[in-house]
């Protein structure tokens, strides 16, 4: 039996305002072909299907079209999808009953761990895989908040709640094994495992403000033969453990990720042993980070615009000479297949007193990001999951939708 583990698609993501529909179309075509050629029986998507809680129409269409083709043409018997921190649990859950008729099992909102644990059956009806489909767990799923929680206390409770959730799921796995024999078991998770690697600019949004929000790998009991994780965008195993892995995002989420290879995880099962193999994701859109003083920028941009390939570039001027007309001089080269998505002057950044690594350009942020930042500034003492903040977010989304400013209206 073969299982394909992927996560963090972030459908609907745009790079500095540039829509990525074509890249996503090519990625999903490739994924479908990979499911077919690798004879994957089960596809596991470990969260962050969409980039935002309110995905635009093209992103939604891409998702449903993929699921339809996957089950009708891909030969995939089961699909397991859980919500990540970017997804709206309610949005993913809404069509769950309809999708379950196609063997597509969706968990948006966290449920009782016993209910999240599924027994998947093979073509002859015999049990072949247990899946504890655990989505991103929000603070309110993990513990009851009380006033005056300090961040350390919150962290401690969060980890305790997480442990309890997976321990209960594991108990359910043992119960199912008593009944059905030694069936292999897999758990999903969308979380930040302690010791995990991230890259600057890779789009991993902090899960919790004021705390590390990191989860030790020992929250996953040994009853699970494999743990399919999402949230971190670099593919990696956790603490050197082969059985606990992040597949990473299939597309680079920023220019700092361009040198890294992207993958999906292919697992083949023999008994309860999962053998892992990486399948590299092709580059669907070439991204280039061009850095240097003006003459070297111009040389490189000239090369790129004549290379006959579609290239999206970020340009960073690092020269000591100020170039007041930098944008004009750089944009001259945006011909042929070269598109310049972002121009930065590292000199002027240095000169700004509070331009730390946390400082982002307004143009890099979506409307939801800007609102989120203002919200956190306005309520520094409230937890990110506070019901009052959730209510304000919902009101904002409604207003933004009415104004046509969120998702992909184009």
- Binding residues for Mn ion (CB under 5 A): 8, 48
CA distance 261 to 243: 21
Q: Please say which residue, 6 or 172, places its beta carbon nearer to Mn ion.
A: 6
CB of 108 to Mn ion, least distance (A): 15
Burial category of 337 from C-beta neighbours within 10 Å (exposed 0-12, middle 13-18, buried 19 and up): middle
CB of 33 to Mn ion, least distance (A): 24
Residues contacting 182, CB < 8 A, separation 6+: 271, 272
How many Cα atoms within 13 Å fall on the side-chain side of residue 297? 27
Q: How far is the CB of 180 from Mn ion (least distance, A)?
A: 34
For the chain, the maximum distance between any two Cα atoms, rounded to a whole number of angstroms, is: 74
CB nearer Mn ion, residue 205 or residue 332: 205
Give the residue among 315, 306, 316 at the shortest CA–CA distance from 337.
Answer: 306
Tokens of 365: 């942020």
CA distance 18 to 13: 9
The CA radius of gyration of the chain, in Å to the nearest whole number, is 22
Q: How far is the CB of 47 from Mn ion (least distance, A)?
A: 7
Report CA-CA distances (Å) from 175 to 115, 118, 170, 292.
13, 12, 9, 61
Q: Which residue is nearest to Mn ion (CB)?
A: 48
Phi, psi torsion values for 227, nearest 5 degrees: -120, 115
The least CB distance from residue 84 to Mn ion, in Å, is: 6
Residue with smaller CB distance to Mn ion, 71 or 236: 236
Between residues 74 and 84, which has the closer beta carbon with respect to Mn ion? 84
> Is 8 or 263 the residue whose CB approaches Mn ion more closely?
8
- Return the number of the residue (251 or 290) whose C-beta is nearest Mn ion: 251
- We find the least distance from the C-beta atom of residue 237 to Mn ion, in angstroms, to be 18
């Amino acid at each position: 039996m073969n299982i394909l583990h992927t996560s963090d698609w972030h459908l609907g993501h745009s790079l500095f305002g540039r829509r990525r529909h074509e890249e996503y179309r090519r990625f999903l075509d490739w994924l479908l072909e990979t499911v077919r050629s690798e004879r994957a029986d089960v596809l596991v998507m470990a969260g962050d299907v969409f980039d935002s809680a309110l995905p635009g129409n093209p992103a939604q269409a891409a998702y449903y079209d993929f699921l339809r083709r996957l089950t009708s043409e891909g030969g995939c018997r089961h699909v397991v999808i859980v919500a990540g921190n970017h997804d709206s649990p309610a949005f993913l859950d809404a069509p769950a009953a309809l999708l379950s008729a196609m063997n597509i099992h969706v968990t948006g909102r966290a449920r009782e761990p016993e209910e999240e644990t599924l027994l998947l059956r093979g073509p002859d009806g015999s049990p072949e895989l247990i899946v504890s489909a655990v989505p991103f767990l929000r603070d309110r799923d993990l513990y009851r908040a009380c006033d005056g929680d300090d961040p350390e206390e919150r962290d401690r409770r969060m980890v305790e709640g997480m442990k309890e959730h997976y321990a209960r799921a594991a108990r359910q796995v043992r119960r199912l094994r008593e009944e059905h024999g030694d069936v292999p078991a897999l758990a999903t998770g969308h979380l930040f495992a302690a010791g995990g690697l991230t890259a600057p600019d890779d789009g991993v949004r902090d899960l919790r403000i004021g705390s590390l929000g990191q989860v030790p790998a020992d929250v996953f009991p040994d009853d699970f033969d494999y743990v399919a994780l999402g949230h971190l965008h670099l593919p990696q195993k956790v603490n050197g453990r082969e059985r606990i892995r992040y597949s990473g995002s299939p597309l680079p989420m920023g220019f700092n990720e361009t040198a890294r290879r992207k993958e999906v995880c292919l697992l083949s099962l023999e008994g309860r042993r999962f053998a892992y193999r990486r399948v590299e994701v092709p580059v669907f859109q070439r991204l280039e980070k061009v850095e240097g003083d003006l003459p070297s920028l111009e040389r490189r941009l000239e090369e790129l615009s004549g290379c006959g390939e579609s290239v999206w570039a970020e340009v960073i001027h690092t020269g000591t000479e100020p170039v007041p007309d930098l944008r004009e001089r750089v944009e001259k080269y945006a011909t042929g297949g070269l598109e310049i998505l972002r121009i930065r002057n590292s000199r002027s950044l240095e000169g700004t007193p509070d331009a730390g690594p946390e400082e982002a350009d307004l143009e890099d942020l979506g409307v939801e990001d800007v609102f989120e930042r203002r919200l956190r500034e306005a309520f520094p003492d409230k937890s990110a999951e506070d019901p009052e903040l959730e209510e304000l977010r919902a009101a904002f989304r409604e207003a933004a939708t009415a104004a046509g400013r969120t998702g992909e209206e184009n």
